[in-house]
Amino acid sequence: MQSSEARARVLYAAAAVLLDYPDARVREALPMLRAALAEHPGPLPRLLEATAAQISAEEEQAACSRYVDTFDLSRRHALHLSYWTDGDTRRRGETLGKFKQRYRDSGWLVDLGGELPDYLPLVLEFTARVDYGAGRSLLEEYRASLELLRLELTADASPYAPVLDAVCASLSGPSPTSRAEAMALAGPPREQVGLEPFDPRLLPLAEGTR
């Protein structure tokens, strides 16, 4: 029987793939991913399987177009964890530097692949394949970001919502049921560069705001 850490590593590795741009490379990995999920009974792998099945059933162009609409054209679905807490402020540069330092501290050379170090699929892959403890720490630290993204995807009935459901459910404690509860997970606002962490201009709370 596999340990809880081994099962969590499979979950995070699968989530990293499913939240990546669904081009031919990702689609080729889906059969192996779904086979790995099938070996792990329970509600969390089934959530990931739901998203994997939908991506597999779609034409590549349609899946890619939906991905762009979901994540690239909407700030409400930002996949960069510090965007939710720091927005486009000077302090975000410091935060990104801390992400890079976590990767360096792991003792591994982490290829960012042109992405910022707080890119969620990258953090998930780091957790699954490189340093489970350090990666889990980052996910717990940015629980508020994950939960806010989960709530926005759920509100839009996105097929990617189950992936965030699974990731959030794998962390400690229950998930919040509202944006206010999710924002409270980040703790008190920090007084930096004249902006609060959850700037309403960066986190539109009105439905349909992009």
DSSP H stretches of helix in 19-119: 24-38, 43-57, 60-67, 81-86, 90-105
* Helices and strands, number each (H, E), in the chain: 11, 0
Whole-angstrom Cα distance, residue 117 to residue 207? 29
> Residue 201 pLDDT more than 60?
no
pLDDT of residue 178: 87
Predicted model pTM: 0.85
With cut-offs at 50, 70 and 90, classify the pLDDT of residue 196: very low
With cut-offs at 50, 70 and 90, classify the pLDDT of residue 110: confident
Whole-angstrom Cα distance, residue 178 to residue 25? 36
Other CB atoms within 10 Å distance of the CB of residue 186: 19
Whole-angstrom Cα distance, residue 108 to residue 126? 10
How do residues 127-166 score in pLDDT, each as one tens digit? 999 999 999 999 999 999 999 999 999 999 999 999 999 9
Domain residue spans of the chain: 4-184
pLDDT of residue 22: 96
pLDDT of residue 41: 82
> Residue 205 pLDDT more than 90?
no
pLDDT of residue 188: 59
pLDDT of residue 206: 31
Which single residue is written with the structure tokens 């739901």? 50
Whole-angstrom Cα distance, residue 52 to residue 31? 9
- The rounded Cα 36 to chain-centroid distance in angstroms is 20
With cut-offs at 50, 70 and 90, classify the pLDDT of residue 89: confident
